[in-house]
C-alpha cells in the first residue's frame, strides 16, 4: 500500500515538472540531450504506470519496474542540474520539484526493494507438506522400507538432490550404484 502511494506521488511530481505543470522554459531552447531526456522521462513514466497496474497482481514484477523507473529518473535530474537540457537556467519551482522528486525516488527505491525482497522470500517458502511441488516427481513408495536410504556423506546427499527429478525406480538404481561403488 505504501509503495502504491509513493508511486502516485512520484507520478504527480513528474507531471508537475512538465509544461502541463510548472515548466516555463520554451521548448525551442531545448538542447539535443534534452530530447533524449524527454524519451527517458516518458519511458520512466510508462514504467511507473505499469508498476501501479501490476502492483496488486504481480508484486515482484511491479517492484522491479518501479526500481528501474526510479533509476531512470535520476538521468534527467542530473542532466538538468548540469545544464545539458536547456540553455536557460532552472526556474525556482522546477528546482524545488526536482529536490522533492529525488526524495520521492529514494523512497520509491527503498519501498520497492523491500516489496521485492518480501515477494522473493515468500516465493521461496516451502509449500504445504501435503502438496507436491511442480518439480518433484510422483512418489511411488508406499512403505518406509521401500524408500532409498541415504548415506550421510555430503557427496551422496548432493548426488541425491541432483536425482530428485528422476522417477523413483531410476533414482533407486543410481543410489544403489553409488552406495555399492
- Condensed to tens digits (0 to 9), the pLDDT of residues 2-37 reads 999 999 999 999 999 999 999 999 989 999 999 999
| 59, three cell numbers | 508484486
This prediction has a pTM of 0.67
Q: How far is CA 175 from the centre of its chain?
A: 40
Sign of torsion, CA 157 162 168 174? negative
Task: Name the residue with cell 511442480.
Answer: 134
Dist. CA 101–CA 96, nearest whole Å: 9
Band of the pLDDT at 107, cuts 50, 70, 90? very high
**pLDDT at 136 exceeding the cut of 90:** no
- Percent of the chain scored above 70 by pLDDT? 69
Contact between 105 and 74 (Cβ < 8 Å) = yes
| For range 116-144, the mean pLDDT | 63
- The residue assigned the cell 529518473 is 73
What percentage of the chain has pLDDT greater than the value 90?
61
Nearest to 124 by CA among 84, 116, 104: 116
Looking at residue 138, the DSSP 8-state letter turns out to be: P
Helix axes 32-54, 2-16, angle to 10 degrees: 150
Cell of 120: 522473493
Amino acid at each position: 500500500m505504501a509503495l502504491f502511494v509513493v508511486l502516485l506521488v512520484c507520478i504527480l511530481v513528474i507531471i508537475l515538472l512538465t509544461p502541463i505543470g510548472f515548466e516555463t522554459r520554451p521548448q525551442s531552447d531545448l538542447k539535443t540531450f534534452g530530447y533524449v531526456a524527454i524519451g527517458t522521462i516518458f519511458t520512466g513514466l510508462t514504467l511507473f504506470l505499469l508498476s501501479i497496474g501490476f502492483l496488486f497482481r504481480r508484486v515482484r514484477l511491479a517492484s522491479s519496474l518501479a526500481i528501474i523507473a526510479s533509476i531512470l529518473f535520476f538521468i534527467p535530474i542530473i542532466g538538468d542540474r548540469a545544464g545539458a537540457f536547456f540553455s536557460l537556467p532552472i526556474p525556482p519551482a522546477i528546482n524545488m520539484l526536482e529536490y522533492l522528486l529525488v526524495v520521492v525516488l529514494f523512497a520509491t527505491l527503498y519501498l520497492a526493494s523491500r516489496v521485492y525482497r518480501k515477494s522473493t522470500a515468500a516465493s521461496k517458502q516451502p509449500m504445504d507438506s501435503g502438496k507436491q511441488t511442480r518439480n518433484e516427481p510422483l512418489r511411488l513408495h508406499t512403505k518406509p522400507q521401500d524408500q532409498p536410504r541415504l548415506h550421510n556423506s555430503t557427496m551422496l546427499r548432493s548426488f541425491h538432490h541432483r536425482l530428485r527429478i528422476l522417477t523413483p525406480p531410476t533414482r533407486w538404481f543410481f543410489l544403489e550404484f553409488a552406495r555399492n561403488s
